Structures are given as structure tokens and as C-alpha cells.
A and B are shown apart, each in its own frame.
Chain A
Amino acid sequence: MTVHTKGSGTTWVGRSIRRLEDPALVTGRGRFTADMPATHWVRFVRSGVAAGTIKNITAPEGASIVTAKDLAKLKPIRPMLSKFNYVAVGQPILADGVVRFTGESIAAVYAPSKDQAEDIADQIEVEISEGAPLIDAMDALAGDAPLVHADTKHNVIVEGRIATPGFEDVWKTAHKVLHVEARSHRQNATPMEARAGHAAYDGSTGRVTLTCTTQMPHLTRTAVCDILGIPESDLRVVAPDVGGGFGQKMSLAPEYVLLVWLARKLRSSVAWTEDRRENLIASFHSRDQHVQLEGAFDKSGKLLALRGDIVANIGAYSCFPTTCGVEPLMALAELPGPYDVRAYDCRSRGVMTNTCPMAPYRGVSRPVITFVLERLMDKAAAAFGIEPTELRRRNLIDKFPYTSATGLVFDDGSYKETMEMAIKAIDLDAFRKRQKTARDAGRYLGIGFATFSERTGYGSPAFAARGMEITPGFETVYLTIDPSGFVEARIGSSPHGQGLRTSLAQIIADEIGIDPEFIKVVHGDTDRSPYGWGTFASRSLVLSGGASLLAAQKIRAKLLKMASHFLEAAPEDITLQSGSAHVIGTDRSVTIASMARAAYHQTHIFKGEIEPGLTETGTYDPSGTFSNACHVAIVEVDIETGRVEMEKFLVAEDAGLIINPMIADGQVHGGVAQGIGNALLEEIIYDETGNILTSTLADFLPPTTREIPEIELHHVETLTGNSITKAKGLGEGGAIGAPAAVISAINDALSPFGISIDEMPATPQRIRAALRSSGKLPSNGKTA
């Protein structure tokens, strides 16, 4: 393992330079979809019931309304998997006779203003004959359950199983077997900006420009054009500034298809801005899973075998492009986490219900499986009478590359090192003493550790394992120095808050000797950027960063060749720095700007030895790399009310070479805050009729700054051969580890009561109910 020491001061990489994207955003000059003027405004009429048949739609006189019958020529959204017993189901753009979840669009009305559209939509009467809705995945599994899609044989839409040979033989040798039955409730990613779309028809070319809040502009273009049956050259998709996505904006919104269709029909511009209620009930949900997990341990506390059963509630439809396999199949492949376990037997199913469709949400299943696996490890530690960290020490992988029981190849990492670093930084021994003193005084403090891996930056080989019809992978970067000497990097990724413009500029700057402020990164416009997959799965820095580096290396080679011509020196004697090429050890130099001029306007001087222009392409499609981290939470549980107070959070993480430490820290902070919300507060609740009770931010509770404690960060930088920039991804890690650490800390605090909180969010009601059931509560509620 090599550890890189940064701060040599000579490179842009490794420095916390200020984000190049921020001046516009913090001075109100950001450009968001909802700010755009339009001729027509759309309002969707959404189903007020979860399951039923549409009998009649009545619109007031003169209302402009679109219903499914107007869209008969459009194909449904129907993503495909070729494996895992996947059952393809179609999602119509507007409900076609049947409604399958509360909030599904039944009609679209349009009017000259947003307000008028809303008032008209209010007057549309929809008569629905209600059916019996399925809300919980367990109910949908029952043999006699009604079918969410009548053309399927059962509600299981995807099912995977991995069983290693000889599993039962290993299982039999177990010294102890521990069991966890866990429940992760449904959540919404709640980006600050809800969804919005704007489609404008251009009369002269017949093209439509769709501006929308997407994480994947090119895939949106492909999907919309496939559904409408038009060439991709007739549609331009633009993602302007996007206020967070967290996965919710990576799946195709049917609403965008409607907008493009309507703009073409009206030959005009049409827009839609989602309100928060729509976002909470009808965008996409996530994390609704039931997980059963058993672990067999030998005498020394070594994990021998894992047996799991995962049921993911994927809602009423399958999201495009990943399909709803994304949650259950991620869980299936990654459940063993960072532990060395050779025997594995797990089944994972995605089940349809009459609920809002599931889409990826930061971490995708891993926040859930990490929480469940860490519960198992904590229970095992208790059973063996050792510190949870000691049990982990005996099981964490430490030889690389490590091929897991599910066939994943872990590159160099620092699973044990980050945990030891965290134990030291938090001072575990001192905490245990403080915990004891507090308990004697009737106060319940707890500490929780979560050690986990974060698979990042994976290209097409990894996605191919899922058998996706649309297999994400490569990224391409077009890098140009134009005649003015400025640099433009056009990328296929589509950042929406991550600071990628800055990080990529730092990578390119080191290679071509031009400062980041002269490097513009262009993204989010299918007319300007190369076909790419967008931003998700902690991939953009690794993939677009790698592609940027490859392109920059080519530019560098060309610049050296040109400089060699101008300076009459060998390329290996020339350096590129601060905008000039210098002959080492002399004062001879030439500016890169003047060479750029020459590359376009004085090409004759190179006598055909150097090709005209200064544009290079880099494409990168790596196998993937694993980041890792140890999260530590310290909490106090108020046993009288069940309330959890976060005292402190600590992260020791390793994402390889850190390009911009400030940006990396920001990613971790945000992820941890979301993870704390997932662990304690956020829950989408349906009543038994399928109505959502949490349709406002007064009921669905993201954390505020006052619920987030101080977060202390420590870094290890393991340099991997699996990423050419040596950087690993870290977009999701904060959210993956935090729920597990928080819930572990709650359980540690409550260990005197002999209960186990295996549900998230761990609300005060649930904690208090568990405490009551322990029968060990002191009568005055104060001291045990």
C-alpha cells in the first residue's frame, strides 16, 4: 500500500482551491430551469387513490387537457434486464385506464400561466373505481395478492440468488449463529430543488430543447426520443444549474416526455415546475426494504458464512434506465461488505406495490445493507463479549486485491487502518469510562462504529454483470485549447452541486501547465458535450477525471512537441507551467497562448509535422475501485421519551488521492447529514388505503443544522492502480455509513435493556416502544 503525502505545494491537485462554480451560485446568478419563461404552463392532475380504474375524466369548458388517449402513439417507459428473472412492465406517460399509485399523473392541463394551470387542474374531475391497494412488499408477496400489473404472473419483478458451493457444509461448522431481522422504511431523497422541465420548439429546425433538472442529459435524450419515435438529433437536452439530485433526478421523469411531446404539438414552449408535495408523493422513493440476515461465526469470532433474504419494495413501475433491479441487485452483490467471508447464500427480490416507484438514492441499498450487516456484527460482538471494533478487526479484509464471495474485486484499501484511526481519534477507552459514569447517573450514552466499502467509479464491465439493456460505463472528455489560449473541457458527466468543474480543472491544470481559472468545464448540454452517462454512483471524478487526464496527456504531448519546435529544445527538456513552456535550466520560454494561436492560425510553420488545432479526446472505462471508511457516532438516548441526541460524528475515510480536500470534505459532510436524517427522522408513511401521510415538509422530516452535530474528518490516501488519477469516488460514502453508525450507537446506549433497534428511522416512538417491551424501565423513568 502506498500512501501519498500531499501538500508539496507544486501541484493543483491536493489543494483546497475555491470552487469555480460558486461565484454565480452565491450571487444569485445561477440559472435554474424554473426561472425560464414559457408560453404554456403544465399542471399534472394526479391520482388521489393508490389503485383503481379510471372511469371518467371531466374537464371544464375550454380547458386544454391531455390524457392517455392523446398519447396512444407513445411507447411506455419499459427498461429491460436480461437476467434475474426480470419481468418487464411498462409505465405509460399518463395513466392509461389504470392507476397504480397515489400521485400518478392522469392528465396534464396547460394554460398561459402556472397559476391558471393549477386552477384549471383543480376543476378536473376524475372518477376512479377504487381497487384494493398493496402497500407493503410482504403483502404483495402473498400467493393470493392482487397483481399491480395485470399482465404479470406475480408481483415479484426481479429475483436474484447467489449461493457459494458447499455453503451448508460451512454453515454446519458454526460455533455461534446470530440473526437480524431488519426493516428500512421508505424515504425520499428531497433535493433542495424539486424537479422542473421546460421544452421549447424551434420553428426553423423543428428541434426541441428540453431544459430539465436531470443528472443524465444524454440518457434523457435517448429515452425521450425512443418513446416519441424521433431521431436524437431532433432533441437537445440541457441540465442547467441543478439543485441537488441524489439519484432522484437520474431516472427518467415521465413528465419530461409529456413536455417534449406537447412542445412539438403546440410548436411552442411549455414548462412544468414540480411543487414539494408532488416531489414527496410522486417523484421517486427509496430504501423501502425488509432484510433477514444470519451470520455463522467460528470460535474466534471469525465470520464463516452469511445467509440473507432481501425484499425491496420497488413501487408501481420500474425506473429507467437502471430498472428497479438497482436496489435488490446492489444489495445482493454487496451485502458481505468489507468482511472476509467465503460462504454466502442470499436471495434478493424486487416486489411491485401500489406505491410511488423506487429510484436510486445516494448509496443505493448500501445504507440499508450496511446498517443490517453492522447490526449483525454488533450482535456477534455482544455474543462473544468483545468490543464491536475487536470483532471487526478479526473480520475486515486486509489483503488486496481481494475477491469477494460474490465475485467483486476489491483493490487496495485501508479498512483496518481507518478503523484504528477512528478508534484513536474518538478515544474509545475514554468514552467507555464516560459512558459508565453517565449510566450510573441514569444517562444513556452510546458509541457506534460502521466500517464499510463504497464501490465507486465503475465502468461498463461492472454494470454488465446486471444484464442491463442499457449498460452504463465509459466517460468521454473533449479537451480544447482555443486560439485565445483558454481551455474548454466538455464532459459527459453532469454534476449538480459536487464541484466537479473545479476538481477536473485541477487535474487538467497540472498536466497542461495552465491555471484552473483559465479552464472552463462544460457539461449538461447534449449539443455541447460528448455522449456520456451523467453523474451518479460516485463515478464522475473517477471516470470524467480519468478521461480528462487522458485527454490532457495528449494535449501535453502536443504542446511539448510545438514548444520543442519554437524553443529548439528536446521535448523532455521542456516543462509546462503557469501558462508557458520553459526549457529547464534556462530562461527560454514560450507562452501556451501563443502556441495555441499558431496551432490554428500559423499551421504552416510546423511544416506538416504537427496536426492543426488543439483538441484531444479522452475516453475512460475502468473496472471500478472501492473507497472505504469508518464512521463513528456518539449519541445520548433519552429513555423517557426515546429521543436521540447526536453528540458527535467522526469519519475516517479513504478515497484515494484527494483532488480538492475542501470539496471532498463537503461531500462527506452532506452525506453524513443525509445519513443522520435517514437514521432518525425521514420516513414516507402510507396509510392502509395507500394515501401518503407525509406529503409536506412538516411531516417528512429532513434534518436541519440543529440536528447535525460537529463532524470530524480524517483522511487516509491509498493510491490505487484501478484509477488512473489515483482518486476514488466518495459521493455516497457519507450517506452509506452514517445510518449504521447512528443506529449502532443507539443500541450501544441501550445495551443495559437487552433490546435491539433494527429499524430505521429509529424514531423516538419506536425506541420508547422497544424500551417498554424490555420490561426493564425504571418506574420513575429516571434511573435504571
Chain B
Amino acid sequence: MKPAPFTRHVPRTVDEVVSALAEFAPLDGRILAGGQSLVPIMAFRMARPAHLIDINEVEGLDRLAVDGDYLSIGARVRHGAFHKPVIDGPLGKLLAFVVSHIAHYPIRMRGTFCGSLAHADPASEWCLVAATLDAQLVVKSVRGERIVPVTDFLEGIMSTSLAEDEFLAEARLPLLPDDTKFGFYEFSRRAGDFAMSAALVTYRLVDGVIADAHVGIGGAEDRARRITEAEDVLNGQAPSPELFVAAGEAAANAIEPLEDIQTTAEYRCDLVRAVTRRALERSLQ
């Protein structure tokens, strides 16, 4: 159980990364970030890249800072950076709550936020966070830089709109107003396993009614996304157990569930119904 032979390149600057990508991507080259997804699939020889562009020594990519109204997360920022709130306010708390659901401690010390987005596992917690909060993604190549909204970035199971020579340099999460309430609930077989369904909700209470509801679902469809049908149920209503049940129902009805040999579409919808309602219940705790 070891990877097929490959060549490793170790750029020091972002410019070197993009030029290495331009040169080696056409020759079956890929970025190596934390390696927590790529290395296992290489060991199983399900991926056989000929070149790895290792970004772990690139200066500046470990930047994690607030720029105006968003939080910038560089391509070398590890999951473990979020164990404690990175900023005051709801966003820092939200990220700290969610991160404990990702894998296990040693994996969190290597795996990266941006790597999770680039890998685009439908069950990735960070993809769910990015989708729910409307992240903007900074994508670079020798051709320049573009800023991509998350809805245009995540395209399907382990598939993104990144071009072969592009790399995800930074993810931008909008800061959340101080009165934002959030709730996250995940269902997995064992502690640390990938979610079979997860829900993240954020909203504000204005005069006792819900405003600006975001309901994100991950692990249930081919990609994480916001479910507007559930948000519509919530917006303008006062929180109540019945309302949360209705939102769960709306989410379950809106999704196109993933199926596998053990998991029927019906079961996946059951999970979505449950995780949505429970995430909403947690938002009030």
C-alpha cells in the first residue's frame, strides 16, 4: 500500500506554485496540501499523479486574518487552527464548533480548509460551511486571479470549477453580525467519520422573527448547498418547534439524495429532516 511513483516539487512562493502548475498540470500534476485526502487515495492507487506540487512551504499561505467584512483563510491554514475561536463573535464560535466534527485530531493538524474545498467531498464540513455562508474563493493561475462564489465552485462529487492549472489560494468567509444565531448537527456512523448528512443554519432574530436564514445541507447530495425552500419556511416566522419541523420537512423534500448499497434515498431524506430540525434546535441553546 504505497503510491505509484511521482515527482515532488516544492515551490516557495505563490508565483512558483502557479508556474509549476502551468508546467506540470498537463503532465498529470496536482497540488499537495495537507495530504489527508490525496495521500490515502494515492496509497490505494486510485489516484496516480505523476507530479505533486507541495504547497506546504509556500510563504504567506498560512495567513488567517480579517480583511474588512470577511475572514481570509489561506491555502495552508489547517483544520486545527479553528479548534479555538479565531475571531470574536459568532463566526469564530461556529467554526470552532464545526471543526470538532472533522475526522480526528492528528488529521486536523495536517488537513487544510482550502484542501477540503478543492477536494469537494460532498460530506466535507468545510464545504458545508462555505456553501451556507456564501464564501468567495480566490483562485490563481499564471493567467491571473479570479474570485468565484462557492455556488460556482462546487460542481459535484469531488468536482469543482477549478481549471487544471488553477489553485485555490484563499477562501473568504463573510463575518457574521454579532446577533447571528447558528446551529450545526451532523449524523455519522462513528465519531469522526464523514457525515451521512449534516446541517448548518444561521439566522438573525429581528423583532422576534427570523431574518436572513441560511440553511445548508451537506453529505446528502452531490455537493453541499443552501436549501432555499427551508429558508423560505423560516424567514419572517418566530422560532418554534413546529416551525423547525416544517423547515426539516422542506429540506427533506427539496434534496436530490445520494444513494448507495446501504443507504436508500428515503433514508437519506429521513436524515436530512432530522439534522435540519436538530441544527435549528441547537441554534436556540
- A interacts with B: yes
- On A, residues with C-beta under 8 Å from B are 114-115, 118-119, 122, 275-277, 638, 640-643, 681, 685, 687, 693, 696, 698, 701, 703-704, 706-707, 763-765, 768-769, 772, 780-782
Of the candidate stretches B51-59, B68-76, B213-221, B258-266, the one touching chain A is: B258-266
Contact string, B139-158, partner A, CB cutoff 8 A, digits 1/0?
00000000000000000000
- Tell me which residues across on chain B come within 8 A of A772, comparing CB atoms: 266
Apart from A704-B191, A768-B267, 19 more pairs, CB < 8 Å: A114-B2, A119-B4, A122-B45, A275-B1, A640-B274, A641-B187, A641-B270, A641-B271, A642-B270, A643-B187, A681-B189, A681-B190, A698-B194, A765-B262, A768-B270, A769-B267, A772-B266, A780-B245, A781-B245
Interface 1/0s, chain B 244-284, versus A by CB < 8 A? 01000000000000000111101100110110000000000
| Interface flag for B5 (CB, 8 Å) | yes
The reply on B177 being an interface residue by CB < 8 A is: no
B194 smallest CB distance to A (angstroms) = 8
* Contact between A276 and B1, CB atoms less than 8 A apart: yes
Which listed residue, B1, B263, B271, touches A277 by the CB 8 Å rule?
A: B1
Partner of A685, one of B40, B261, B264, B273: B261
Instruction: Please name all residues of chain A whose beta carbon is closer than 8 Å to the beta carbon of B263 when the two chains form the complex.
Output: 765
A765-B1 in contact (CB<8A)? no
CB distance from B240 to the nearest CB of A (A): 12
How far is B261's CA from A769's CA once the two chains are assembled, in angstroms? 14
- When distances are taken between beta carbons in the complex, the residues of chain A under 8 Å from B264 are 765, 769
CB of B46 to closest CB in A, whole Å = 10
What is the CA–CA distance of A122 and B1 in the complex, to the nearest angstrom? 11
State in angstroms the CA–CA spacing of A114 and B3 once bound together.
12
A/B interface sample: 14 pairs, CB < 8 A: A118-B2, A119-B4, A277-B1, A641-B187, A641-B271, A642-B267, A685-B261, A696-B44, A698-B193, A706-B191, A707-B191, A765-B263, A769-B264, A769-B267
CB distance B44 to A277 under 8 Å? yes
B contact residues, total (Cβ < 8 Å): 25
Proximity string of chain B (192-234) to chain A, C-beta cutoff 8 Å, 1 when within and 0 when not:
1110000000000000000000000000000000000000000
What residues on B are CB-neighbors of A696 within 8 Å? 40, 44
CA separation between A157 and B62, bound complex, in Å? Answer: 62
B274 touches A781 (CB 8 A): yes
6 closest A-B pairs (Cβ-Cβ)?
A275-B1, A706-B191, A640-B274, A780-B245, A641-B274, A765-B267
| Cβ contacts B17-50/A at 8 Å (1 or 0 each) | 0000000000000000000000010001100000
CA distance A763 to B263 in the complex (A): 10
Interface centre among A277, A638, A693, A781 (most CB of B within 10 A): A781
Using known A-B contacts A277-B44, A640-B273, determine if residue A701 contacts B261 with beta carbons closer than 8 Å: no
Give A780's nearest chain B residue, CB to CB.
Answer: B245
Instruction: Return chain B residues, CB-CB under 8 Å to A765.
Output: 262-264, 267
On whether the beta carbons of A687 and B267 are closer than 8 Å, the reply is: no
**Cβ contact within 8 Å between B190 and A703:** yes
- In the bound complex, residues from chain B placing their C-beta under 8 Å from that of A643 are 187
Q: Nearest-CB distance from B159 to chain A (Å)?
A: 20
Of B40, B187, B193, the residue contacting A701 (CB under 8 A) is B193
Report whether B4 and A122 are in contact in the complex, using a CB–CB cutoff of 8 Å: yes
Q: How far is the CA of A742 from the CA of B245 in the complex (A)?
A: 31
Partner of A115, one of B2, B40, B187: B2
Contacts of A638 in B (CB 8 A): 274
Contact A640 B270, CB 8 Å, known A275-B1, A706-B191, A707-B191: yes
Report chain A residues within 8 Å CB of B261: 685, 687, 693
Indicate the member of A114, A118, A641 with the most B CB atoms within 10 Å: A641
- Would you call B5 and A701 a contact (CB within 8 A)? no
Chain B residues in 8 Å Cβ range of A118: 1-2
**Which of chain B's residues have a CB closer than 8 A to the CB of A707?**
190-191
Q: Beyond A696-B44, A701-B190, A764-B189, is A119–B270 a contact (Cβ under 8 Å)?
A: no
Chain A residues with Cβ below 8 Å from B267 are 642, 765, 768-769
Q: Which residues of the partner chain A approach B270 to less than 8 Å between Cβ atoms?
A: 640-642, 768, 781
Q: What's the minimum C-beta distance from A496 to chain B, rounded to whole angstroms?
A: 23
A562 shortest CB reach to chain B, Å = 58
**Inside 8 A of B194's CB, which chain A residues have their CB?**
698
- Inside 8 A of B189's CB, which chain A residues have their CB? 681, 701, 763-764
| B-chain residues with CB within 8 Å of residue A693 when the two chains form the complex | 261
Q: List the A side residues contacting B191 at CB < 8 Å.
A: 704, 706-707
Q: Is the CB of B44 within 8 A of A781?
A: no
Minimum Cβ distance to chain A for residue B102 (Å): 14
Bound together, the chains give a CA A184 to CA B193 distance in angstroms of: 24
Residue of A nearest to B5 (CB): A119
List residues of chain B with CB within 8 A of the CB of A114: 2
Q: Which of B191, B267, B270 has the most CB of A within 10 A?
A: B270
Nearest CB in chain B: distance from A642 CB, A:
8
Bound Cα distance from A209 to B1, whole angstroms = 26
Q: How far is the CA of A173 from the CA of B44 in the complex (A)?
A: 60
Please give the distance in Å from B45's CB to the nearest CB on chain A: 7
Once the chains are docked, how many angstroms separate the CA of A772 from the CA of B267? 10
Distance A780 CA – B245 CA, assembled complex (angstroms): 7
Residues in A neighbouring B2, C-beta threshold 8 A: 114-115, 118
Bound-complex Cα distance A769 to B45 (A): 36
Determine the residue in chain B with the shortest Cβ distance to A118: B2
State A769–B245 Cα separation when bound (angstroms): 21
Q: When chains A and B are docked, how far (Å) is the Cα of A706 from the Cα of B104?
A: 11
Residues on B with beta carbons closer than 8 Å to the beta carbon of A768: 267, 270
Rounded to whole angstroms, the CA-CA distance of A685 and B266 in the bound complex is 21
- Complex CA gap A515/B122 in Å reads 60
Contacts of B266 in A (CB 8 A): 772
Distance between Cα atoms of A703 and B190 in the complex (Å)? 7
Residues of B within 8 A of A782 (CB): 245
Instruction: Given the known inter-chain contacts A277-B44, A764-B189, A768-B267, please indicate yes or no for A781 contacting B273, CB distance below 8 A.
Output: yes
Neighbouring B residues of A122 by C-beta, 8 Å: 4, 45
A273 (CB) vs chain B CBs: closest residue: B1
Residues of A within 8 A of B193 (CB): 698, 701
A122 to B46, CA, bound (A): 12
B262 neighbours in A (Cβ, 8 Å): 685, 763, 765
Bound complex: CA A126 to CA B52 (Å): 30
Chain A's closest residue to B249 (CB) is A780
Task: Give chain B nearest CB distance to A782 CB in angstroms.
Answer: 8
* Complexed CA–CA distance, A518 and B40 (Å): 46
Complex contacts, A703 vs chain B, CB 8 Å: 190
User: Which residues of the partner chain B approach A681 to less than 8 Å between Cβ atoms?
Assistant: 189-190
- Within the assembled complex, what's the spacing in Å between the Cα atoms of A275 and B1? 6
Measured CB to CB, the nearest residue on chain A to B273 is A781
Q: Whole-angstrom distance from the CB of A637 to the nearest CB of chain B? A: 13
Contact A706 B1 (CB under 8 A): no
Q: Which residue of B lies closest to A772 (CB)?
A: B266
In angstroms, how far is the closest chain B Cβ from the Cβ of A707? 6
Q: In the complex, which residues of chain B have a beta carbon less than 8 angstroms from the beta carbon of A640?
A: 270, 273-274
Task: Determine if A704 and B190 form an interchain contact, defined as CB atoms under 8 angstroms apart.
Answer: yes
Please name all residues of chain B whose beta carbon is closer than 8 Å to the beta carbon of A706 when the two chains form the complex.
190-192
Q: Contacts of B271 on A, CB cut-off 8 Å?
A: 641
From 129 to 146 in chain B, residues with beta carbon under 8 angstroms from any chain A beta carbon are none
* A642–B274 CA distance with the chains assembled, in angstroms: 11
Q: How far is the CB of A681 from chain B (nearest CB, A)?
A: 7
For B40, the chain A residues whose CB sits under 8 A away are 696
Closest to A707 in B: B190
CA distance A320 to B2 in the complex (A): 31
* Chain B: CB-nearest residue to A114: B2
Q: Which residues of A contact B274 (CB under 8 A)?
A: 638, 640-641, 781
Chain B CB count within 10 A is highest, among A640, A693, A703, A706, for A640
Once bound together, how far apart are the Cα atoms of A276 and B40, in whole Å?
Answer: 12
- Smallest Cβ-Cβ distance to A643: which chain B residue: B187
Name the A residues within 8 Å of B273 (CB-CB).
Answer: 640, 781
Measured CB to CB, the closest approach of chain B to A401, in angstroms, equals 44
A701 to B45, CA, bound (A): 21
With CB as the reference atom, state the residue of chain A lying closest to B1. Answer: A275
Q: Roughly how many angstroms separate A704 CA and B192 CA in the complex, as a whole number?
A: 10
Chain A residue nearest in CB terms to B278: A640
**B-side contacts of A276, CB under 8 Å:** 1
